[in-house]
Structure formats: structure tokens, C-alpha cells
Structure 1
Amino acid sequence: MAKRVVITGMGVVAPNAVGLQAFSTALMQGISGIHHDPELERLGFSCQIAGKPEVPDQMKAKYFTELELKQLNSTGILYGTIAGMDAWQDAGLKILGAEEPDWDSGVIFGAGNSGVEKFREAIYKIDEGQLRRLGSTVVSQTMASGVSATLGGKLGLGNQVSSNSAACTTGSESILSAYERIKSGGAIRMLCGSTSDGGPYIWAGFDAMKVCTYKHNDEPRRGSRPMSATASGFVPACGAGALVLESLDAALERGARIYAEVLGGHINSGGQRGGGSMTAPNSAAVQRCIRMALEQSGVEAEEIDLINGHLTATTKDPVELANWSAALNLKAADFPFINSLKSHTGHCLSAAGSIESIATVLQLNQDFVFANLNCEDLHPDIAALIAPDRIPQRMLKRELQIAAKASFGFGDVNACILFKKY
């Protein structure tokens, strides 16, 4: 018999806040995490603003030993470890001793890349003939599974320990993979989520592609403008989000707090056909992904109270909303509320799906809809599809039951998850 799956813990390292309570407050208050980045200006980037979490040294020391910190320069592993360990603690779970691993618990934690700064450091040392000075952590900081291996070791997890990578869909994919493992009985609980390194070596390619905004370098907090008529590209960002998924039976047995239930979802690809490409969506695949997510979750379109979209502040925002409209087949006035976290944080790339899923679950759990920042000039193609009051400009207090979270990524890949208040 399939297991019901619930969320019992969350942790977040985001540009607008680090820590779950601070993140919830930032969402309610519409706090932006986007700032001017002097390094991007020095290097001649067109986009000189970014979203980067602030992690002080005293906070790092709570998660890593002095020796670990001396060698650590992978921000992806830093962010992911903090978010993951916070989620584990938030779920009320213990870290086992050294004797035996926790066979019932595992981790699926995704990343778009790992340890770019460490890799760069290693390249320079090798080129300079300093091979023996590489240190002992180059492999663990640069391998794709570095973040899941780090978390698995710190928490003593003995079930599946692996990393996934699917561009902007990574975080949502990790949640659905963990959900399926628990649902099928392969694990009792899974830590899941995703992380993203930040900085010029990650963001340069996007700047070169001209998909990042360049019009708001002098007013950073107005730079990320999803669904706006004056949107001019996304703001690069980084961070990590982590969730503890657990079978409902196990959560009830140990008296755990339950944030929400994962009803199901769907993952697919447009195959870079039918208008889809490495950077553009196949709309038929997006619509199919949404419809299949509803079908597999047993949810009707009119039951959805909130959509947290992918919505990056590029020319694809009207296309995404057109796909939601076609997939749900609802009248403009009957649409769910829709918002985009990227107006607060920028685009956290491979971490986006997990951080945005946490934002979605917090809204369900606390009955609010956070504001879409910088969307006072709603794109006319979007306004023609959806009633403007469905795209709130200020935080609303509303009772919510079911929310959809979608991620659409480079490579024409899609994921959609349905969450329900427990």
C-alpha cells in the first residue's frame, strides 16, 4: 500500500534571509535580498546586481569544524549543509552516534555544479606545479555529489545518499524523488533539497547570453521584475533549501509537527521539440506536466488556491502564464493566486525549486500569500489571461488548502508538485 508523505522539517539559506523564521518574516514583509555586487561591476558584467545569502563566520562555526572551514570554499556545500542540518533539527530528529548509520533515512540533495571556486584554486595550483598542496578536500568539494555526501556523513544517513541535477528543475525533482522513495516504502524519511554556488564564475555564462537584467544596476531592489511589462531579464542568485519528507505513519508515531502533505507531482521533458530548445520550453510538455501532476495528485484545477510559478522575469513569463491558463482551463477571475519568489530573491538557479517550495509550504501553513514585488506594471499579455487581483502586489492573509509549485529549466525540463495543508 502506498504511503502518505508529509513535510516535517525545513531549512533555508536564501538571499533575503537565512533561517526558516527569518525567511517567513521576509516573505510577509516583502524584504528583497538583491543588492549591488562590486565584484560583478569590477569584472564588467552587464548585470551588476545579485542575490547572495549573508552567512557570518559565527554561523558557519555551528555547522563546520575549524579545520573544515579552513579548507572549505564551496559556497554550494556551505549553503546546502546549513539548510540541510537546519531542516533535520527543525524536524526534531537526532544525529546518531558513531556506531551505526540510520538505515531508514537518506538524502537526495541536488546541485547544478559544485565547488567552482575550489576547482579554480586546484587548476592554478596544478598549473604552478603545486600538486602536493592541493589538500585533501578537492574531490569532496568538486564532485557533483559533494553536498549529499557531506550531509549524509554529518547526519549518519544509511539509506539512499545521492545528488540530482536538472538545471532550474533540480530542487523540485529532488523533492519528488524523495516523495516516491518514501511512498513506495524504500525509506521512512528523506532529506531533500538543492543548492547553488554563486559568484562570477557561475553567472558569467548567463550574462554573456544576455538573459540577465542590465537596466537596474543603480536600484537593485527593483531589478527582479517577474510578470512585469518592464522586465528585462533575471537577477542571478544563489542559496539552498532543504525539506525533511517522512511517511505520515512515522511522523504521527513520533508526534512530529507536520507542515504540509505532498500529494504528488510530475516530471517530464519537451525533448527540445515542438518549439522547445535548450533555453525555450515546449509548451505542450509544460501543459502536460501540469495536467499530469494534478491527475497523479488527485486534484482538480479549481481546488488549487495558490500557484508559485517559475516566473523568472524574462520574455518567457507570458508564455508560462499562457501554459498555466491552457492546462487549468479556468476563467480569468477563477484563477488561483499566483506569485514568484524571484521578485524577492532573484533566480537561485539549481536551488530555486527547493527554496521556492519552502516559500510555498510556508504560505499554506501560515495562511498568507506573499506579494509580487516590482509588478505594478503587469505585462499586458498576462493581464489578458488572469485577473490582476490574482497577482497580488501586497501580502494577503488568506486561508489556503492546496498549492502548486512548478519549475521549468534549461534543457526543456519540467516539474510540478502539489502540496496540501495537513
Structure 2
Amino acid sequence: MRRVVITGIGAITPLGNSVKEFWDNIVAGKSSAAPITKFDASKYKTRFACEVKNFDGEKYFERKDLRKYDLFSQYAIAATEEAVQSAQIDFSTYSEEERADIGVIWGSGNGGISTFEEQVSLLYQGDGTKFSPFFVPKKIEDIAAGVISIRYQLYGPNYCPVSACASSNTAIINAFDTIRAGKAFMMIAGGSEAPITASSIGGFNAAQALSKRNDDPASASRPFDKDRDGFVLAEGAGALILEDYEHAIKRNAPIYGELIGTGQAADAFHLTGTPPDGRGAKLSMRKALNEAGINTGDVDYINAHATSTQLGDLSEAVAIEAMFGGSSKRPYISATKSMTGHLLGGAGAAEAIICILALKHGIVPPTINTKQLDEAISKDLNIVLGESVSADIKYALNNTFGFGGHTATTLFKKFEE
């Protein structure tokens, strides 16, 4: 099997519109939650979110073309541009035949939800026939993958996996499998969301999923805390360039890390809830370790899915304890959604970048806002609270779980020649 390395990374997040700004704020333990500015949320139970700040779509598109792209596609292009630049790639130097072996797999759980809202609103305000010609291509989840391939003229595998909040981790897994199978030598993978809209807030409120800590948004996301009351909705994108190791070495590419194992499974339990025994999470983590050929004692760091919901956090904690409880060395654990909020389908890619940089720099990010661990969560879990810690880490595991019981785990290794 081919080795797969990460040669480029890009991020648009509530903590910064570049990888450097994003990582610096993660390490510093900053919260991005604040009152919603994208619409009037005064009548909603939750009136705050983690919004991307100071994003300018005109940096990436002509003004006349912006109306063709929903914000989630704009975020996708922006993150991909940074990833391509950091990978030091000029796609124009590749022949058409070579670009047939470079593809894009890009995840999203909601696609153009704001576009959908706008058009449905106009539909009921008018005579029922007024639609934008861009309505469907702006709305559909797969369009970001298509837009990226069009921009760079990439003819390889191109599609969008939709597995709710596991979508971008699923995209990374699929890209990894594609390269390992010899069906491409380079893939752009990641995910994006722009879900801070009235229907998203209203829908998640109805599902009792969001925090209602309106008096103190910055501390609302508190994974594993006994007083956690739901997640904080977020937006943004994460992009990774995955590349065959031999090709990367041949072109003297920068290498940020190596992807060595992946796992996917299903809870087969509930539409939105997670099983008390964390069976799906255990399965996907076990499969990732098996594919990588390492043991539980080798894992140094886990970026937990941990969204700050009552059932979800507990289920994952039980799964981690069941998997790693017998190890002589306990992995560090951090729940970075305490800072970023929950990017839904974009979360896995953003957190993959955190794992990669944690390995590269030897820094484990913190879990902020968690004051007192839930008594039901094992005290033996090595959760990093409050501040980042320096550590020599070689293997990092990234968990993502989605409504419908989808679980996806990626396992990264510090790059070594």
C-alpha cells in the first residue's frame, strides 16, 4: 500500500482565516463564541454562535461571480487556496493526463442552507415561480467539490460524502483510500459549512441540541463538564492536500504529517443520540488502529468529537476509556470545540489540521471552559484542561460522529523519512 502524506493545509474558521491565526488562537485557548450577527436571533432560545469574522469573498471571486456561490462554497475555495499555496503546487504545470489522477472529495452536511432559506422565503412572498437560476447549484452539498475541481482543472475522482458531522473526516478517509488504491496520486479533501441561519438555530433548538447560555457565550461550549447544556453552532472550512509519499518526495514538497489509519462504523442506535456504551466510536477507533498496525499504548493524543452535549460526550468518554483504559500510557485528550464551536460537516477537517499541527509542534491544545468533570466520566481520562501542554507526541487520533450514527476516525503520525 502507498504511504499517504499531508503536504498542504488551509483553514477558514471562527478563530481565524488562515492556518497560522487558527492554530495560534487554539494554542492560546481562545473562545470564538459571540452573539449572532448574521440574522436577528432575538426571538430564539439560542442567540449566539461561532461566526467567521472579516471574511471577504472578493479575494477569491470576481464580485459579479459571487452570486453564483453559497457561503459554504466560498469558504471551501478560500481554505483550499491556502492549502494549495502551502503545498507549493502549481496545477498548471501538470499535464491534462496527470490532472486526471488528482481529485477532490469534499464533505458538507448542510450545503447551501442559507441559499435554500432565501429562495423558499421568496417563493412564498411571490407568485410561486420566482427562482434564481443559481438556486440548485448553490444549494446542493456536492457543489463545493465541483467548484474546486473547476477552479484548478482537476479531472480525478470528485464527489461529496454526506455523513452529517462526520462528513469531512469521511472525505479525508475516502481520499486516503483513493490514493492507497492507486486511483490518484494527489487529492484535495476537507469540508465546509455555513449553517448560522434562522432555520439551523431553530431546528437545533427544537432538538434540544444547542447551549442556551446567552448570558456568557464565550464559556458556553464546555465539553465533559457536569453543567454542559449543548453545543455552539459554528461555520468555516478545513482543507488538506493528501499526496502519495513518493510523488511528494520527488517534487520536494513540504510534508506536515502522515495519515496512517482510518476507521468507519455505525452506532445503529438512534436518529440523533449516541449509545451509552459508545459502540460505534469504539469500532471506528479500533479499525483505525488496526489499519495503522499500532496498539492503544502508542496513541499519544486524541482530539475528541466532544461537542458539549450530555449524551454525546459521555458516550465518547466511555468509548475512550474502554479502548485505552488498560494502556500503561494514557493519551492526552482535548475537545477543541470548546474554542471553535461545532463546524458540523467541516469539523473533522478543521480538527485534522489541529492534530497535524499538534504532532508537528509538540503542543497539545487545551479544553477550555470545563470547570468540573461530569462524575459519570472516568477521572483516569487524561483531559487537558485550561492551558496547552508541550509533549513529544508521535500519533494523534481524530474522532467525528454524526446524526444517524455515523462514526469516522482518522489516525495521523508525525512525519519521519
Write the mapping of 1:22-421 to structure 2, written as runs, cut at 5 A.
22-38=21-37, 42-57=41-56, 60-69=57-66, 71-72=67-68, 74-96=70-92, 100=96, 102-127=99-124, 128-129=126-127, 131=129, 134-199=131-196, 200-214=198-212, 216-272=213-269, 276-281=270-275, 283-315=278-310, 316-330=312-326, 334-387=329-382, 390-421=383-414
Per the alignment, in what secondary structure is the counterpart of residue 248 of structure 2?
helix
Which whole-Å CA distance do the structure 2 matches of 1:280 and 1:242 have between them? 28
- Contact (CA 8 Å) 2:263, 2:283: kept in 1 or not? no
Sort the Cα spacing of 1:166 and 1:226 in 2 relative to 1 into closer, same or farther, 3 A. same
1:39 and 1:140 mapped to 2: Cα distance? Answer: 22
TM-score (normalizing by structure 2):
0.93
Aligned equivalents of 2:205 and 2:389: distance in 1? 35
Range with greater deviation from structure 2 (291-300 or 196-205): 196-205
Residues 218/6 of structure 1: CA separation in 2 closer, same or farther (3 Å cut): same
SS at match of 1:112: coil
CA distance in 2, matches of 1:345, 1:421: 24
The 2-side partners of 1:39 and 1:261 are apart by 38
The number of equivalent residue pairs is 410
Aligned residue number for residue 19 of structure 1? 18
Once superposed, what is the RMSD of the aligned Cα atoms?
A: 2.0
Equivalent residue of 1:241, what SS?
strand
Residues 187-213 of structure 1, C-alpha deviations (whole Å, 9 max, x = no match): 010000011122222232111111111
Whole-Å separation in 2 of the counterparts to 1:161 and 1:39: 31
Render the CA deviation track for 1:240-289: whole Å, top value 9, x for unaligned. 111000000010000001011000111111223xxx44322362232122
Q: Secondary structure at 2:92's aligned position in 1? A: coil
Q: CA deviation at 1:311?
A: 0.4
Match of 2:7 in 1: 8
Distance (Å, rounded) in 1 between the aligned partners of 2:208 and 2:240 = 33
Q: Quick one: structure 1 residues 98 and 120, their matched pair in 2 at CA, closer, same or farther if it must change by over 3 Å?
A: farther
| CA contact 1:360–1:403 (8 Å) conserved in 2 | yes
The AA in structure 2 aligned to 1:61 is E
Contact (CA 8 Å) 2:5, 2:245: kept in 1 or not?
Answer: yes
Q: Partners of 1:105 and 1:334 in 2: how far apart?
A: 39
User: Counterpart amino acid of 2:395?
Assistant: I
Does the residue aligned with 2:59 lie in a helix, a strand or coil?
Answer: coil
Shift of 1:123: 3.0
- Paired with 1:354 and 1:122, the residues of 2 have a C-alpha distance of 29
Report if aligned partners of 2:165, 2:346 keep a CA contact under 8 Å in 1: yes
Secondary structure of 1:92's partner? coil
CA positional deviation for 1:291: 1.2
Maintained 8 Å contact 2:110/2:195: no
**5+ unaligned residues in a row in structure 2: which ranges?**
none
State the Cα deviation string for residues 23-49 of structure 1 (Å, max 9, x = none). 111111112111111566644221111
Q: TM-score, normalised by structure 1?
A: 0.92
391-400 or 181-190, larger mean C-alpha shift: 391-400
In the TM superposition, residue 361 of structure 1 has moved relative to its aligned partner by 0.8
Deviation digits for residues 339-360 of structure 1 (CA, Å, limit 9, x no counterpart): 0110001111111111111111
